[in-house]
Amino acid sequence: MIKASELKLHAIAKDAKKVQCDAIVIGVGEGTEGPFLLENPLSPKAATALSESLGLLGLTGALDEVQRLPGLPELNADLLVLAGVGKTGLGGDVDDESLRRAAGSAVRQLAGVSSVLLALPASTVPQAAAIAEGCALGAYSYNEYRNTSAKSQPEIVREVTILTEAADEKPLKDALNRASIIGRTVNATRSLVNQPPSDLYPESFAQAAKDLARNLPVKVTVIDEKKLEKDGYGGILGVGKGSSRPPRLVKVEYSPAKAKANLAFVGKGITFDSGGLSLKPASGMMTMKLDMAGAAVVLNSVLAIAEMGLPVKATAWLCLAENMPSGTAQRPSDIITTYGGRTVEVLNTDAEGRLVMADGLAAASEEKPDVILDVATLTGAQMVALGSRVSAVMGDEGVRAAVKEAADRSGEQFWPMPFPEELRQTLDSQVADLKNIGDKFGGMLTAGIFLQEFVGEADGERIPWAHLDIAGPAFNETAPYGYTPKEGTGVGVRTLIAYAEDVLSRTS
């Protein structure tokens, strides 16, 4: 069961001294002439004394720096915490993402402390909201499978108060609510990714979708293997054939009465990618529980949009299968018939994501949504091109640009990629409509071009579409940083939510 822990978020306007909390966090900027204290509630005397010690404390003001000090008598907290916010603009102003990261890093590193007052610069609602979001994202840990070592894990921060001049502004209440929904849904995405494939397989994932959707105005439909067979979902079935645990297609629909737009999200949900008969080496398999991240992202994005009550129809399609080698597995050179009738020669069973996504995209297209966004940990080539923290966005120029903009606003890193025309022909097959692998080079782009073939038409034109490859960013293999934990990161949810909000702000 995926449990989403809830961080309590409050805001107050002044008098940090009146707040009872375990720790007060103030910001340190990374100036050209050394570290400096950002706007804070300390008395001038205390602030001056502390300013003079920053260098000697070994602080630089860099992001992720968190220094615990004893609380001052003038404050009502046992701990005073200095948190780096990185380089600031002229006049010491801090951008929203730096606030998000600094707040998230502090809250993450303050695990073991139960209540925290954030006294970072926050004169506006967006700044206070960024801090709140950072806190909600930083307060995460995954201990479901710890028994004997559970006690050695410090408890995550439970309650946060944000000191902000905007505390009494009307929009702040909604902004804090949004931050807490974002925290909950991103964290649920992380937990789904972190859950071991021994327990997370297509059927249990479908059940998790139902559990998470409980109490929300969302309809969850599970298409099981019999129905997949009957309706011709050859991509999902082909990939799932090698596993003893049958595949599923899950449709999660939020359809409010006065919807101003209709969005479809398709997610890759390979609960474990062994490569199939085109078996991966052991080293390449170690992180392959991550391969359902796209499905977790689209699920939680629709749940967030529903909980926020945005007037937009949003449907998530979760393409769930386990890619395993066995006597019943699909073979390299098998030909499958995907949903809608197009045939694919499967030359590499490790290029399975595009096969399940082909079915999902074709099914989503039947409902003629205004736009389709798909999210997938699709290619290792994504990491070769952009590294492990920047995701790729491909597809129609307008949608691609809108996704990039939504990502920028939400603090997720995406970068636009092209579809060079000459790559399409590398997918031509001798014996079927398409083959599932193309040229060795530009593997991320070829995979995107493959997907494009399955995006359907509405009124004689291809449905506007973009493809988000989050292969690297979905899973943090190194140390935690900012508000990002180790393993599942939840990347993609914030971008899809922001995308839906942006669509609405363009229609009204």
State the minimum distance, in angstroms, from the CB of residue 323 to Zn ion: 7
CB 335 within 8 A of CB 215: no
Stretch that binds Zn ion, among 150-158, 346-354, 482-490, 494-502 (CB under 5 A): 346-354
State the minimum distance, in angstroms, from the CB of residue 247 to ligand BES: 15
State the minimum distance, in angstroms, from the CB of residue 275 to Mn ion: 6
Is 342 an annotated catalytic residue? no
Residues that bind Mn ion (CB under 5 A): 273, 350, 352
Identity of the residue, 167 or 384, whose beta carbon is nearer to ligand BES in the bound complex: 384
Identity of the residue, 273 or 412, whose beta carbon is nearer to Mn ion in the bound complex: 273
Considering 190, 241, 354, 400, which one is annotated as catalytic? 354
Please report which helix (H) or strand (E) contains residue 407, including its range.
helix 397-410
Identity of the residue, 207 or 452, whose beta carbon is nearer to ligand BES in the bound complex: 452
- Name the residue with the smallest CB distance to ligand BES: 380
State the minimum distance, in angstroms, from the CB of residue 275 to Zn ion: 8
Identity of the residue, 120 or 381, whose beta carbon is nearer to ligand BES in the bound complex: 381
Residues 240-299, interacting with Zn ion (CB under 5 A):
270, 273, 291
**Strand 461-462 to 457-458 pairing:** antiparallel
The Cα 337–Cα 320 span in angstroms is: 17
Other C-beta atoms closer than 10 Å to the C-beta of 469 total 32
State the minimum distance, in angstroms, from the CB of residue 113 to Zn ion: 39
Binds 232: which of ligand BES, Zn ion, Mn ion, none (CB < 5-8 Å by kind)? none
Considering 68, 87, 280, 389, which one is annotated as catalytic? 280
Burial of 477 (0-12, 13-18, 19+ CB in 10 A): exposed
Alpha helices in 309-371 (DSSP H): 353-366
Binds 11: which of Zn ion, ligand BES, Mn ion, none (CB < 5-8 Å by kind)? none
Is 280 an annotated catalytic residue? yes
Residues that bind ligand BES (CB under 6 A): 273, 291, 348, 350-353, 377, 379-381, 437, 443, 471
**Strands annotated E in 175-306:** 219-223, 248-254, 262-273
Q: What is the 3-state secondary structure (H, E, C) of 96-142?
A: HHHHHHHHHHHHHHCCCCCEEEEECCCCCHHHHHHHHHHHHHHCCCC
Identity of the residue, 291 or 345, whose beta carbon is nearer to ligand BES in the bound complex: 291
Binds 379: which of ligand BES, Zn ion, Mn ion, none (CB < 5-8 Å by kind)? ligand BES
Binds 471: which of ligand BES, Zn ion, Mn ion, none (CB < 5-8 Å by kind)? ligand BES
The Cα 259–Cα 508 span in angstroms is: 12
CB 349 within 8 A of CB 335: no
Identity of the residue, 7 or 375, whose beta carbon is nearer to ligand BES in the bound complex: 375
Q: What pairs with residue 346 in β-bridges?
A: 334
> b/e per residue, 331-369, with b = 16+ CB within 10 A?
eeebbbbbbbebebbbbebbbbbbbbbbbbbbbbbebeb
Name the CA dihedral angle for 299, 302, 306, 310, rounded to a multiple of 10 degrees. 170
Binds 374: which of Mn ion, ligand BES, Zn ion, none (CB < 5-8 Å by kind)? none
> Which of 409, 437, 506 lies closest to 100, judged by CA?
409
Q: Does 374 bind Zn ion (CB under 5 A)?
A: no
Residues 347-366, interacting with Zn ion (CB under 5 A):
353
Task: Give the residues lining the site for Zn ion (CB under 5 A).
Answer: 270, 273, 291, 353
Residues annotated as catalytic (active site), given as ranges: 280, 354
